[in-house]
Structure 1
Amino acid sequence: MAEPAPPPPPGAHAHRRRRGVELTLLAGAVLVCVLGYLYVAVADGGHLPRPTPRYAGGLAAAALLAHLAVRLRAPYADPLVLPIAFLLNGLGLVLIQRLDLTTPGHPTAGEQLRWSALGLALFVLVVAALRDHRALQRYAYLSVAVALALMLVPVFFPAVNGAHIWIRFAGFSFQPGEFAKILLAVFFAAYLAANRTALALGGRRLFWKLKLLPGRVLGPILAIWLLSVGVLVLERDLGTSLLFFGLFVIMLFTATGRIGWIAIGLLLAALGAYAVGTFEPHVHSRVEDWLNPFASIERGEGPGQLAQSLFAFGAGGLLGSGLGHGQSFLIGFAAKSDFILATAGEELGLVGLSAILLLYGLLVARGFRAGLGLRDPFGRLLATGLASIVALQVFVITGGVTGLIPLTGMAMPFLAQGGSSVVTNWIIVALLVRLSDCARRPRPDGTDGPDGTEPTGPPDPPADPADPAKTTGAAR
């Protein structure tokens, strides 16, 4: 009698690639975006627009292309990351198209669609070309050098709305700081992976649990703080400064597990923000608008942008006024960028706005989940950093337009108008797809990553703790 077949290895049930789930979710995302486009058109003119089949076909083709890239080059990637990003991008196009109806002389939906197509093309390129995320660790110092250059160049160009964050040349404009945040995340991950032991355990105790770290470890931390303050002073960009420093503090806490770094980071951020907010007129005016959003009404000048945003959220109520039936154009020039959440809040209501924020929460959570499934410290920190970039942007922008914190001028990921932003965020999604593929890939013993029994990923070679640029992984 033949012997019974051996039982499957532990975690074998978790080897499903789930590409069918991803394709189904992408089809649903395309359907939602097309229906939103049709609803806006009908609400405006009462008839279906002619380019509807072409628009629907283009969205479906783009979704299929991205899906095929993931299916062929990252088959074990998280099935939720790509559909969530695609849906957010599509909803952003719908909202921008709706706002174009109130500003027919300045249409921007077509331009945003082209930038989205470029971002999706770069997504496919990164997923196809980057086979091992640890290859990025070899370019740690090159990454930070390029990031610094990208942040310094806009200082020499004219300010736009009071901030030096744009490069405008020959009719073309972009924000280099958007690309710098990815490069800084790579450097932070490499530096912290190589020095996490010294940051967590090293140093001379001063009192209680406070330790004075060695200069070679403490120096980069202070340099990054000064860099954040420098960006705030030179570029007058509060949002980018908060993002860079907040990103480093979160990754520092992830690497060391010491809650004290959070307290120190908050203290340094408060000191820098107070000093610059007191002496820098542009930042000071934003703080004043935040503290007194209705001051312009009291002076008889009418409501300012923040006041109009608060009125829009209040007018939206629970279910909203419906797409195409709001008054968000009263906000002014930034209705499609900084304040696009006000349009969502007014026309989709609290329910619709909560659904959008839930999508962002799911995207961030899947990024953190990928980090938990990776064995190498660099990959774990990089996934945490990339997810934190999205989380920080959502918090800073949502807090700004709702009056929780001062306005920063950042763009809501995927949702707001901004070519540099949408391209950068598609690159972030591509890196998260690659990292989640490594985290979920089955090991030779049959176990899986976060859906199985143990984290996956190849073991790390011994690391040189003195130089993150020369390592391909850090010892556990």
Structure 2
Amino acid sequence: MQQTNLDSRPTATPARRRERPQGLRNMELGFLLFAYVIVLAALLQVQLGVTGKFDTRVLVLAGAVAALTLAMHMVLRFRAPKADPFLLPIATTINGIGIAMIYRLDLADSRTEELVLNSSMAQIIYTGLAVVIATVVLVFLRNHRLLQRYTYLFGLTALVLLLLPLIPGLGVSEANARVWISVGPFNFQPGEIAKIALAIFFAGYLVTARDSLSMVSRRFLGMRLPRMRDLGPIIVVWAICMAILVLQRDLGTSLLYYGLFLVMIFVATGRLSWVIIGLLLFVGGGTILALSWSYVHFRIQAWLNPLDPALYDAEGGSYQLVQGLFGIGNGGLIGTGLGHGRPDITPLAESDFIVAALGEELGLAGLFAILALYLIFVARGLRIGHEGGDDFGRLLATGLAFIVAIQVFIVVGGVTRVIPLTGLTTPFLAAGGSSLLANWIIVAILLRLSDTIRTEAAGSTPKGARA
């Protein structure tokens, strides 16, 4: 049987053994302090640009969040001293820039002083709660291998979470998509947590099933095609994603889950044929739905012909997309400056189109800087997966990194009209507690994975390895 690409990767390097935990944490602290300076400068520029004065309420709340991330850094010093030093500062920077832009949109939309901190205060509170929960995950998850024990439980949990919005009286519809549940005064998007559960399930399942999935029957057009009896997993995942698209009207979530599975099955088996088969299935299913479901057809037409008057003026049409494109165009190369543009003209600029809002006031240069931060974050996650000492950890780190990468591509691609618009949120940037919670948990798991990998590469046993 052909050896898979997971087994051919090195588990340790001399450079990795020479890394000193104290140096890693000091580097992380330096980057964190730099992140605080960037976020503080953004908040002050927003206040001066819009109101011409300072508001200490926002600065105090932002300082509280900074204190929580600093506390997470201190936990890393004692609980995960060899964890990656870049992930926490990057997440803090992107999250803080998002808070600054949401605050700026609050100031533009408010008519009275009482409404000024509506969405931005909620975002700050959600961020603090997400950082606390991520710290708790980091403390209690002593070793990532514990997650592999509950592979099928995580799969069942993901399925239940995906079905919750379809329950009458519990699920609510927003923007034609049924992806939210309402519990009292709180709304929550269970699909955000489901993506993490699915990544754990896919990693655990593919570790045990990769040998059979790597079996080949014959060559066709230069590719080694899998046996028909081994196509079951990809058919099941494809059917679930198509069901999500039909029942929840959520193209973004469907594309995210399916893309995650294709990436992980490719990493596990090294077979490009799985990716090609998966893409053909998704394109075929999407084409059928586009021809038979008016919702999907309308979304594609609005993408292809955004300036069509009928589509531009229609409810849920291309008005939002066009306004976002005009905003990015107005920003030019260096932007109008925080507090000096009109990003509030674009509907839902604090959530779906926060990339367009940032593009207007920070320009293409600012957008490229933010995308560079995402690129570094994903690259660090992939590096953790590449250097992992066990197959489950490698797959899990790769899957979690690709969750962020795929979301950024889908959101930025939709806003810039590369692909049709979807309902996904930009990781760490966009308003929403569900997304923040899920993404900070991803940070915590990646930090735990990186600490375990470095500890084992140095020849010692990490705490909780027997769990």
Cα offset for 1:280? 2.1
Q: For residues 312 and 438 of structure 2, what CA distance do their matches in structure 1 show?
A: 41
The 8 Å contact of residues 98 and 324 in structure 1, kept in 2 or not, is answered as yes
Give structure 1 stretches of 5+ with no counterpart. Answer: 1-8, 447-455, 462-471
Answer whether contact 1:367 1:432 (CA < 8 A) is retained: yes
In the alignment, structure 1 residue 15 sits paired with structure 2 residue 20: yes
Pairing partner for 2:88 from 59, 82, 87:
82
1:96 has 2:107 as partner: no
Task: Give the counterpart of 2:346 among 331, 351, 362.
Answer: 331
Counterpart CA distance in 2 for 1:300 and 1:413 is 30
Residue 135 (structure 1) aligned with residue 146 (structure 2): yes
State how 1:52-451 maps to structure 2 within 5 Å. 54-55=60-61, 57-104=63-110, 107-156=118-167, 157-200=171-214, 202-205=215-218, 207=220, 209-213=223-227, 215=229, 217-296=230-309, 304-332=319-347, 334-441=348-455, 443=457
Instruction: Look up the SS of the partner of 1:205 in the other structure.
Output: strand
The CA deviation string for residues 364-404 of structure 1, in whole angstroms up to 9 with x for no partner, is 00000001111211000000000000000000000000000
Between the aligned residues of both structures, percent identity stands at 46
Is 1:232–1:241's contact at 8 Å kept on the other side of the alignment? Answer: yes
TM-score (norm 2): 0.90
Give the 3 Å change call, closer, same or farther, for CA 71–83 of structure 1 in structure 2.
Answer: same
Contact 2:224 2:271 in 1 (8 A): no
CA contact (8 A) 1:443 1:457 kept: no
Q: Is the 8 A contact 2:21 2:81 kept in 1?
A: no
| Structure 2 equivalent of residue 453 of structure 1 | none
- Distance change in 2, residues 1:402/1:441 (3 Å): same
Query: How far has the Cα of 1:53 moved from its partner?
Result: 5.2
Distance 1:212 1:444, change over 3 A: closer
Between the aligned partners of 2:420 and 2:407, the Cα distance in structure 1 is: 13
CA drift of 1:224 comes to 0.5
In structure 2, give the amino acid aligned to 1:346: E
Does 272-281 or 360-369 show the bigger shift? 272-281
Q: CA deviation at 1:297?
A: 7.8
Q: CA RMSD in A?
A: 2.3
- Give me the whole-angstrom Cα distance separating, in 2, the residues matched to 1:67 and 1:435: 16
1:203 deviation in Å?
A: 4.0
Show structure 2 runs of 5+ residues with no match. 1-12
Larger radius of gyration: 1
Per-residue deviation, residues 21-44 of structure 1 (Å, max 9, x unmatched): 101111111111111111101111
Is the 8 Å Cα contact of residues 19 and 79 (structure 1) preserved in structure 2?
yes
TM-score, normalised by the number of residues in structure 1: 0.88
Q: Distance in 2 between matches of 1:457 and 1:218?
A: 38
Deviations 1:432-469, CA, capped at 9 Å, x for gaps: 101111122254559xxxxxxxxx989x99xxxxxxxx
Q: Is the 8 A contact 1:296 1:304 kept in 2?
A: no
Indicate if the aligned counterparts of 2:251 and 2:422 stay in contact, CA closer than 8 A: yes
Give 3-state SS (helix, strand or coil) of 2:150's partner.
helix
Q: Letter of the aligned partner of 1:305 in structure 2?
A: Q
Of 46, 51, 61, 1:40 maps to 46
Aligned to 1:166, what secondary structure does the other structure show?
Answer: strand
Secondary structure of 1:48's aligned partner: coil
Query: C-alpha separation between the residues in 2 aligned to 1:187 and 1:56?
Result: 36
Instruction: Answer yes or no: is the 8 Å Cα contact 1:30–1:56 preserved in 2.
Output: no
Distance of aligned partners of 1:56 and 1:298 in 2 relative to their CA distance in 1, 3 Å threshold: closer
Contact 1:225 1:245 in 2 (8 A): yes
Shift of 1:318: 0.5
- Measured in 1, the distance between the counterparts of 2:130 and 2:88 equals 13
Q: Residue deviations 1:138-176, cap 9 Å, x none?
A: 111111111111111112334211011011232210101
**Match for 1:348: what amino acid?**
L
The answer to whether the Cα contact below 8 Å between 2:102 and 2:431 also exists between their aligned partners in 1 is: yes
Q: Could you tell me how far apart the structure 1 residues matched to 2:177 and 2:107 are?
A: 28
The residue identity in structure 2 corresponding to 1:91 is: I
- Following superposition, the deviation at residue 94 of structure 1 comes to 0.4
CA distance, structure 2, for counterparts of residue 300 and residue 381 of structure 1: 45
SS in 1 for 2:176: coil
User: Aligned to 2:338, what secondary structure does the other structure show?
Assistant: coil
Separation of aligned partners in 1, 2:290 and 2:388 = 40
The answer (yes or no) to whether the contact 2:31–2:89 under 8 Å persists in 1 is yes
2:351 counterpart SS class? coil
In the aligned structure 2, how far is the partner of 1:165 from the partner of 1:212?
34
Paired with 1:282 and 1:13, the residues of 2 have a C-alpha distance of 56
Match of 1:179, SS? helix
Contact residue 157 and residue 197 of structure 2 kept, 8 A = yes
Letter in 1 for 2:26: G
Secondary structure at 1:318's aligned position in 2? Answer: coil
Q: Distance in 2 between matches of 1:85 and 1:270?
A: 33
Counterpart amino acid of residue 252 in structure 1? I
> 2: distance between equivalents of 1:52 and 1:224?
44
DSSP-derived class of the 1:325 partner: coil
